[in-house]
Structure 1
């Protein structure tokens, strides 16, 4: 197994490999990293070849943290780790992680950190990479919990999973005249999002408005804003990332508190599930409800009321 640095001439081959892989997502593509301004990260992505054939890719950056030089996959994305073929063998998984560790040591890194996508992002479920990481001495540095909803064959079947209060909220929104449609009102939505995050948590969104609009430009078909409207006023929205052919993620969810009584978010998700089912997706990822492993119980309950359950989003680390 040969390990080499990614260079720009590999871009087309990288994108093709991720699209055909077992576990690749939007967050593993080179196009995704283009939204970061030059100089934000020092890229150190890797390609693993066996007899000339690509067997894995590893999006990563060099990071200095408390005087330690880390190989991190990836500080600029929700998920990282190795992207691998669907038919990855157990022996090859062991070899990949062994070569990753050897490479990092040889290049003078003092640690490796990576975040695995939850297992539902895989076409063929496998914990081979997880096992290989643990066997090499990686330990869990953070275990967040993401709310996952399995989509049924019809939106009515998903509606049956809603708790009664959520079903009543959908009906109330409809009776109140709330409508849902795909939207391009990114500035209006961002204003609602920014105000909510600052009021509730004293934080700003992960992305600036310019970055979010740039991401939409980079992925016009894979980043979709659905808005809830009362008359012509946007009162709530959900930014959805189509991560791969199976999974849609709600990256941002927000509503105008002045219109909370109309229950627009409940109708939004009902409508988004209907769209996702018709588009052939099988899983909806609501995102995490823990921050640094501290749970937001209200947020967990809100997502559970749609029928969601929790899966780990694991970050592992190895000190070298």
Structure 2
């Protein structure tokens, strides 16, 4: 019999061990990452067992009568045991719907994990969502480079990278979180936005996950010209943030930084280099200029999908 229960702190080690050996072993789903901003979200993560064996977990948060997987993460669908097969995933999702309905939830917002992060086939959940009548409500377009068959750089991008090299600019690994957040803030404020993470949070997270979270910068005479926060997974390197100063733009610092990170990822045997989404207004608007920049490095599209399950229709 399949049963659901809410996660509690006493299960932290069990949860983390399960994530590490799952089909999608992403450090984002480890409790230390999920809980750094616990004050902002009401955790409602689920654990799904069959006859005492943990089959799946669902990183989730709750606000009023809506359960979201997870509001503090870009995605957070069902994380499945490598042994779980299609029939069991159907049963898991049905059990989740029944359990959360009984707990007063009227709607589940489900953010599917993109296939590039999976170590095994892991999209049984998309079929299960179809079977329970879930509705696709949002689709963001993300950009990734398949590093084993990379497309060529555009001529304009090559020119800017060559300009940066001519100025002897070199990528370095950094821990200057304060300087990074200051640079990033100056970029985002032009769009009336602020960074999601503070310098203190980034320092804390990098201490928790030193192999997964790192800062790459290009500096000149003590000035940070360009920087990116990298999230490193088993199969993917992802640019969580990208930022450059006006001076950095002039000398091609960001272009050189991105290309250096891509080449480093290739050398480390990673499959995909990810830039993140270029969509706005819940996926309804494509930022053509932003995605063109990513495509000029050889990136092409993959989607991040949002579904809704109405529990009381």
TM range (shorter): over 0.9
Q: 2:197 matched to 1:197? A: no
Query: Which whole-Å deviations, capped at 9, do the CAs of 1:115-173 have from their partners, x for residues lacking one?
Result: 11211111223431101012111111211011111123xxxx75x62112212221111
Partner of residue 206, structure 1: 196
Q: TM-score, normalised by structure 2?
A: 0.94
> Does the residue aligned with 1:317 lie in a helix, a strand or coil?
strand
Alpha-carbon distance between aligned partners in 2 of 1:24 and 1:133, rounded to the nearest angstrom:
21
Q: How far did residue 87 of structure 1 move? A: 4.0
Partner of residue 19, structure 1: 20
Alpha-carbon distance between aligned partners in 2 of 1:297 and 1:12, rounded to the nearest angstrom:
44
> Does the residue aligned with 1:206 lie in a helix, a strand or coil?
coil
Alpha-carbon distance between aligned partners in 2 of 1:167 and 1:20, rounded to the nearest angstrom:
40
Partner of residue 257, structure 2: 268
Partner of residue 300, structure 2: 309
Kept in 1, the 8 Å contact 2:113–2:304? The answer is yes
Query: Which whole-Å deviations, capped at 9, do the CAs of 1:165-187 have from their partners, x for residues lacking one?
Result: 21222111100121111111111
| Unaligned residue ranges in structure 1 (runs of 5+) | none
Q: 2:240 matched to 1:251? A: yes
Query: Which whole-Å deviations, capped at 9, do the CAs of 1:284-313 have from their partners, x for residues lacking one?
Result: 111111122111111100000111111110
Partner of residue 81, structure 1: 77
Q: How far did residue 37 of structure 1 move? A: 4.5
Q: CA RMSD in A?
A: 1.5
Residue correspondences, number: 308
Partner of residue 41, structure 1: 41
Please, which of 180, 184, 205 is the counterpart of residue 175 of structure 2?
184
Q: TM-score, normalised by structure 1?
A: 0.92
Kept in 1, the 8 Å contact 2:248–2:254? The answer is no
Kept in 2, the 8 Å contact 1:28–1:79? The answer is no
Q: 2:208 matched to 1:218? A: yes
> Does the residue aligned with 2:79 lie in a helix, a strand or coil?
coil
Alpha-carbon distance between aligned partners in 1 of 2:152 and 2:56, rounded to the nearest angstrom:
38
Alignment of 1:34-73 (within 5 A): 34-38=35-39, 40-64=40-64, 69-73=65-69
Alpha-carbon distance between aligned partners in 1 of 2:83 and 2:294, rounded to the nearest angstrom:
33
| Unaligned residue ranges in structure 2 (runs of 5+) | none
Partner of residue 5, structure 1: 6
Kept in 2, the 8 Å contact 1:145–1:290? The answer is yes
Kept in 2, the 8 Å contact 1:177–1:231? The answer is no
Alpha-carbon distance between aligned partners in 2 of 1:179 and 1:274, rounded to the nearest angstrom:
13
Q: 2:121 matched to 1:132? A: no
Partner of residue 276, structure 2: 287
Partner of residue 277, structure 1: 266
Kept in 1, the 8 Å contact 2:231–2:239? The answer is yes
